Structure 1
């Protein structure tokens, strides 16, 4: 197994389709207390036209990337970002080598109905696996080593093993006490608070399966989204960290 590119780099990215337990992972990183934790800054730019990082209002993706890079010269930074949008920074030649890029996946059969329940006008592109796969491919080809890919299902079932492996591969310490926390709403996710009710109620990586009224098997639109996005998920799954 290759170590994650730029192991121990002070700027750590987690790229994930929405509804994949990424906010729970962010909550764990907050509990650690050793990183500046930044919640979905690039999607904030897309949705509201700006992101705020350490009190600075930023309205350009490249300026945001520069700001994160600059902060990481002084302290560790963890950026959790969703991939329902395609970000311009992906095209920047320096992007793959800025920080350590890691990837969280979840079966789209679970992701799609959960996302649809939150946003009934969701488009196929916003499911996010195609965008995530593109970022992975660019990073993989540029740095010449396989980034960390891990699965939400295993994270929920075996959190200690998955987080221990993640920490080892990206070069940060593992402490089992950070796998639990007190339920609370966090300022970090205030812009999208309604999306994170489960994370706000959580005490750890415990996922309760839900059966949604509209699912891949009974909704033709969702079935078409699944058919399109599943091959990208399959590509990502082939690189899972074991």
Structure 2
């Protein structure tokens, strides 16, 4: 089974990758289109040169890798995919071959977290608009609405959430998904030292009380309001458990 988890940044996406990496039957890959996105877009991100050197920059080569058998002969190939890395000129027909899941997080939470690492985020940076576009693309290619899950729901009850997710994609739940070793994962991208400090210090997914939405300054609140229609559209489809 090949699983593409489509997310924006700061969406619990790394923790979800760690959860799947904890399964003995699963290989994972971390943001495989990152270098291709940087090369094609001209965007400048932290650790730019290291990222470009670490991955293929040809999106067709990345697609071929994503459709290849899972590394190490594993039965499951989990792909942590960033929706904002999928530029309009990148191929998308291949995604019909995968089990596609869309990982949501309220835009206010995403923006509040993202701006701590990269100032002045734009709507394009947080990936929610691109998630909607990819969601529609999957619907068009398959005739079915793909699975949507909200990170707040996962955090509130990780075991119940992961069980619901696994059931929705036809994968047996493995209790090992709830814990991992602190200190990172061998599959982490080279950018991990800049972005993954909190998940590196974690040892698993534990029930977490959901805090009120953060207050945003006026400039970031505008971005949040731009993002809300996309979030609300996808939230109609999210798993309820």
TM-score between both structures, scaled by the size of structure 1: 0.83
Paired with 2:180 and 2:62, the residues of 1 have a C-alpha distance of 30
Structure-2 residue corresponding to 1:84? 84
Structure 1 residue runs of 4+, over 3 Å off? Answer: 47-52, 72-75, 88-92, 206-212
- Note if contact 1:39-1:79 (Cα within 8 Å) is conserved in structure 2: yes
Paired with 2:16 and 2:104, the residues of 1 have a C-alpha distance of 12
Paired with 2:222 and 2:20, the residues of 1 have a C-alpha distance of 35
Structure-2 residue corresponding to 1:120? 119
Q: Note closer, same or farther for the CA distance 1:211–1:157 as it changes in structure 2 (3 Å cut).
A: closer
Paired with 2:18 and 2:182, the residues of 1 have a C-alpha distance of 10
- Note if contact 2:156-2:209 (Cα within 8 Å) is conserved in structure 1: no
Paired with 2:212 and 2:146, the residues of 1 have a C-alpha distance of 32
Paired with 2:82 and 2:209, the residues of 1 have a C-alpha distance of 21
Q: Structure 1: which 5+ residue stretches go unaligned?
A: 1-9
Paired with 2:87 and 2:204, the residues of 1 have a C-alpha distance of 30
Q: Note closer, same or farther for the CA distance 1:210–1:95 as it changes in structure 2 (3 Å cut).
A: same
Paired with 1:142 and 1:167, the residues of 2 have a C-alpha distance of 22
Structure-2 residue corresponding to 1:199? 199
- Note if contact 1:28-1:179 (Cα within 8 Å) is conserved in structure 2: yes
Paired with 2:232 and 2:215, the residues of 1 have a C-alpha distance of 17
CA-CA distance at 1:46 after TM superposition = 2.0
- Note if contact 2:147-2:239 (Cα within 8 Å) is conserved in structure 1: yes
Instruction: Map residues 13-52 of structure 1 onto 2, 5 A cutoff.
Output: 13-47=4-38, 48=48, 50=52
- Note if contact 1:101-1:148 (Cα within 8 Å) is conserved in structure 2: yes
- Note if contact 1:216-1:222 (Cα within 8 Å) is conserved in structure 2: no
TM-score between both structures, scaled by the size of structure 2: 0.84
Paired with 2:173 and 2:70, the residues of 1 have a C-alpha distance of 20
Structure-2 residue corresponding to 1:180? 179
Over the aligned positions, Cα root-mean-square deviation in angstroms equals 2.4
Structure-2 residue corresponding to 1:136? 135
- Note if contact 1:149-1:236 (Cα within 8 Å) is conserved in structure 2: yes
- Note if contact 1:83-1:126 (Cα within 8 Å) is conserved in structure 2: no
